[in-house]
Structure formats: structure tokens, C-alpha cells
Structure 1
Amino acid sequence: MCSKTAVAPLDRIKILLQAQHEHYKHLGVFSGFREIVQRENFFALYKGNLVQMIRAVPYAAIQFTAYEQYKKYSEESFKKCSQVNGFLAGAAAGVTAAATTYPLDTIRARLAFQVTSNPYYSGIKHVAVRMLKEEGGLRALYRGFWPNMLGMMPYAGFSFYTFEKLKYLSIKYAPHYLCSEHKTNTNSLILNIPAKLLCGGAAGAVAHIFSYPLDVTKRRMQLAMMNPATYKYASGMLPTLRMIYTENGIVKGLYRGMSINFLRAVPFMAVGFATYEVMKQMLHLDTGIRL
């Protein structure tokens, strides 16, 4: 909840740029902010954030809990492949959490994509009811599911792996600068808050490079039925990927909005991982790292 609220305005700009909304597709990050405030109002920057909060609690709870369980299992099963344990556990945890909460992600994208002057939906319930009635039932809420799952594997895998790797390197090579004076009950070192934020932000930046084209594909499919001109993007993952590449290329198509995604991903992952680590320490669940 902390991390999602911190980047909610950037999230909305990203969705508008990814799906190339008619009012915002020609704008950049800062000009997009100004246009939203002028065309709608300041609170429009947080449009769709309520459902994001509803989704954030089970998503993060499932993801981090599943990560710890998968990591424990992978360490027992792949003792000779310790380098890949974090990646495999992170990928599996991301897929588990995303699959469980995907309909809420679709609803949130629909609410964030509409503009105040021409509202398509009146709220969370209205989105769900209209999609179920008009777009083919429960299947509509899962449109874009497969690119999301395929993108989630490198995204979550690299984010957890990178965070754990940077955490280990920080403690090993710069403990005087990056570690807290307090130690765990196992006499192991733990990162200080700035180091947690730094490692989390770097993890987010690395993870998004590999998964972003599939994230764009997912958004196009989720929002396809809101405009007759975009119905073609509801045909499937591979056709949508091909159309995005054919029509807009790589930079302006598959990586559309990537710059704002970096601005969003770094604070989002930084706050998320830092909060997670702090909560583990408060609940005496963090054993730290022994070198």
C-alpha cells in the first residue's frame, strides 16, 4: 500500500501512454501531468487508486509469503544451484500473486484509462458488471492474462534475485556504510534504510527492462474493448504483440512509456522492498546475512 500510493500518479500516466489514449498519447511525463490536472483535476492523478489499494494488500501478502516458501523449497531441492534459487522463487511468487489478483488489475486499468470529462464507468462494481455482461463473462476480466504471466516471470524473478544479490554484496563489501549498527538475534548484519531503498530501486530498474513489452501488450488487451478502434487488440497475445510492433515499432510501441516506468519502478520497488525488510525485522522474522 505504501509503495503503490507513492507512485499512483506515475502509474496512471504510464497506463495512458502505454495504451495511447487520444488525449495523452502525444505527451511526455511532465506535460502529461500538467494535462491531467488541467483537463481533469489534481485528484485525477490518483484515479483507480482505490481498487489498487484493494488489490495491493492480497497481492503483496501473497507474493512475499510465497517467495519465502518457494525460496525455502528451492534451496532444499537445488542445493547445487544456489545462484538461481532467488530467481526461481521470485518468478513463482510473482506468478502466484498476479494470477490470484488479476481481475482487480484489469478493473484498475479501466478506471485509470478513462477521463473525467467522458467517464465510461462510475466505479469498481460498474466496471466488473459491464465487463461480465457485455464482454463475454469472467473471461473478460482475464483478458491479457498470458502476457502478464509470461512477463511476471522475468519481472518478479529478476527483482527478487537482484535485490538479494545486491543485499549480499552490500553487506559483504560495504558493511560500515550500508549496514545498521543493530544486529539480529543470530548476530547477523542487516541493511540500513538508505541501503534497502537503493537495492530495491536497482532491482526494480533491472526487472522492468526484461518484462516491459509484455506489460504493454497486457495493457492493450485489457483496454481493447473500451474503444471500437482498439477492438483488434483483444484477439490474443501474439497478434497484439505483432500489431504493436508493426504499427509503432519497438521504441514507440513495445517500449512506449518506458522512461516513466523507470521513474515509477525505482521508488515503487525501493519502498516495497524496504518496507518488507523493515516489517520482517519488526516481527523478528529476519535472520540477516552471516558472512
Structure 2
Amino acid sequence: MQAGRIVRGEGENVFSSVHGGATPATSAGGLAADRRFSAKRQDYLQQQPQVGALPHLVAGGLAGVVSKTCTAPLARLTILFQVQGMHSDSATLSKASLFKEASRILREEGFRAFWKGNLVTIVHRLPYSAISFYSYDRYKNLLHLLPGLDGHTQYVNADVCVRLLSGGLAGMTAASITYPLDLVRTRLAVQTNYMYYQGIGHTLHTIFRDEGLRGMYKGLGASLLGVGPNIAVGFCVYESLISNWKLHRPHDSTLLVSLACGSVSGIVSSTATFPLDLVRRRKQLEGAGGRALIYKTGVWGTFRHIFRSEGFRGLYRGILPEYYKVVPSIGITFMTYETLKSYLSQIL
């Protein structure tokens, strides 16, 4: 396993990549190699575009919109599989494969139904992605002001810690602000033949009328528990991969590197947090359309209920379409973000 460390020598910080532990590079040849690696790292960081708040917000928001629109059919399939087992009428999906369910949607609801709820997804994703990307950089700057995380620490692991914390805080900030729209999106996406909710405004009004203000935030606890680690792991893995890639292969296409690193980060983060996302979806549908409550406990009670009634596999119901979705989704998000950020930094 590799561990990174900063070694002070002759008044400068030298970044050394050490195998098997935190063993300092003491030989002259090793120190020279470390200095060359450090210089490459500094050159890479200096070459990154310095962008302000507006390019961050615009690039982040548009990246989310492009990604979600491209992968909307898979996203809807994921949600439909996640809510299996909640009600008796879900038995029609209990043995459905991904292909069979896609065929059912096409046959019964039409091709446009694959994008059912995508308008509210766009309305939600614009502020969500913009806030996520913008607040991630702001949180990083704030955390770098803290002792031990200020960039002058001896251990590069501190930088990983900053990325994880920044990503988690950014995700929770964005989720809290935009949560009612995420709830609306879920309720619209699970509707098949019977349309209880008619559009964004009607859904918001109906939820508030039937379930009150608290109903607008059903599942927020599970969302915060899941989105924090999800975005934290996603950003951390992405930045770690892309920075190391660019250090060793600086001439590779930025678009392809962003796509590859973003896809890997999406798979890792989704696998780690998928059970919490499933709990969130089911809590969001509690009481929808006047139906009786199923999970009358909190997040962990719902988690235990699903595990007892559906087993471990039940916690990962819908993971296959999620994998199919997350590779292009996360990859397109980061690729679009990097492209727009670079372009906007030149014109704004």
C-alpha cells in the first residue's frame, strides 16, 4: 500500500511516494526523485484554471443537467426496482428483469415515460449540482485554514481528509437546500398507469396538503446519511485519481481522463451508499397517494425492516441499473464540469 508524506529538506517541502509505510526517503537519489515528483505536482496545480464563483455555479449546474438527462431512463428503472416490496401491487415487478421492466414501460407508457420526472430532476439538479461543486471548493478553502490541514502538514493524508470532509459537507448542504424537489421527483417517477400527482406544482401542493411541512422532508435523514459519504467518496476518489493520472500522464486527453476517473469514483461511491439510498426512496414514498404507512420507525428501523423481510439482497435491489447509470452519469458530470469550467474561466 502506498502512503504519501511531505519531507522537509533544505527549506522546501518534498512530496515522496513511499511503499510499505511512512519510511523517509533518505538517499540522495531518492530525494532527487522526490523533488522532481514534487515539482511536477506543483506545475500541475499551477496549471489548473483559477475560476470564480459564477463559473463554478454555472459549470456545476449544467454538468448535472446534462448527466441526468442522458441517464434518466436508467435512473427511473433504478427507482422502480428500489421500491419493490413496499406495496402489494409491486408484486408485478418482483420477478421482472431489467429488460422486462424496460419493455413494460415502453409498451404501457410509451417512450417518453422513460423521462418521467426528468423536468423536476433538471429543476432540482441545477441548484443541487451548482451548490455541490461551489460549496465543495469553499469548504476545502475553509478546512485548509485549520491547523493540521493547512497544506503545511507533514502528511499528505491530510489532503485526503480535507477532500472527504469537503465532499461530505458539500453534499449535505446541497441535499438540505433542494430536498423537496428530490421528493417530488421520486413520487413522479414511480407513477405508472395511475397518475395521482400532476406535475411539480401539484405534487408540492398535494404533499403539503396531505402530509404537512414534515412530509416535504420525508427521508431527509437517510438522504443526509447517504449523500454525505457518497459525494465525499466520489470527490475524493475522483480528485485522487485524476491528480495522479495527470502527474504521470500529463498529455492524455482531459476529457477522457475526467470520464474514466469520474466513472470509477461513481461506482465506488454508489456501492458504498446504495442501501441508504434505497431507504431514502422508500421513506420518500411513505403515505404517498393516501396509502398506509409501512415503515413507522426512523432510518435504522426501516433499514432493519427491509433486511428482515427481504434479506441482504433487498438492500441492493436496483443496483444493476444503478451501475449501468452511474458510469456514464458520473463520468459525463465530471467531464462536462471540467470542460465548462475551463471554458468559462476564459470568458468570465
Query: TM-score over 0.5 for the alignment?
Result: yes
Partner of 1:183: none
1:30 Cα deviation (Å)?
A: 2.0
Residue segments in structure 2 that go unaligned for 5+ positions in a row: 1-64, 85-89
| Moved beyond 6 Å, runs of 4+ | none
Q: Provide the identity percentage.
A: 36
Q: 2:101 aligned with 1:32, yes or no?
A: yes
CA distance in 2, matches of 1:149, 1:17: 22
CA distance in 2, matches of 1:233, 1:212: 18
* Aligned residue type for 1:269: I
Q: 2:182 aligned with 1:118, yes or no?
A: no
Relative to 1, partners in 2 of residues 1:22 and 1:132: Cα closer, same or farther, differing over 3 Å?
A: farther
Q: 2:324 aligned with 1:263, yes or no?
A: yes
Partner of 1:18: 82
Q: Which has the higher helix share?
A: 1
TM-score (norm 2): 0.74
CA distance in 2, matches of 1:228, 1:131: 10
- What are the equivalent positions in structure 2 for 1:10-159 lying under 5 Å apart? 10-20=74-84, 21-77=90-146, 78-79=149-150, 80=153, 81-115=158-192, 117-135=193-211, 137-159=212-234
1:63 Cα deviation (Å)?
A: 0.6
- What are the equivalent positions in structure 2 for 1:239-250 lying under 5 Å apart? 239-250=301-312
1:226 Cα deviation (Å)?
A: 2.7
User: Is 153-162 or 220-229 further displaced after alignment?
Assistant: 220-229
**Does the 8 Å contact 2:196/2:289 carry over to 1?**
no
1:230 Cα deviation (Å)?
A: 5.8
**CA-atom RMSD, angstroms?**
1.5
CA distance in 1, matches of 2:78, 2:71: 10
Give the greater-gyration-radius structure (CA).
2
CA distance in 2, matches of 1:37, 1:230: 29
Q: Which has the higher strand share?
A: 2
Count of residue pairs the alignment pairs up:
269
Relative to 1, partners in 2 of residues 1:67 and 1:275: Cα closer, same or farther, differing over 3 Å?
A: same
Partner of 2:256: 194
CA distance in 2, matches of 1:6, 1:23: 27
* Aligned residue type for 2:195: P
Relative to 1, partners in 2 of residues 1:282 and 1:203: Cα closer, same or farther, differing over 3 Å?
A: same
Partner of 1:277: 338
1:139 Cα deviation (Å)?
A: 0.5
Q: 2:243 aligned with 1:168, yes or no?
A: yes
* Aligned residue type for 1:243: H
User: Is 68-77 or 216-225 further displaced after alignment?
Assistant: 68-77
CA distance in 2, matches of 1:126, 1:96: 26
* Aligned residue type for 1:207: S
1:25 Cα deviation (Å)?
A: 3.5
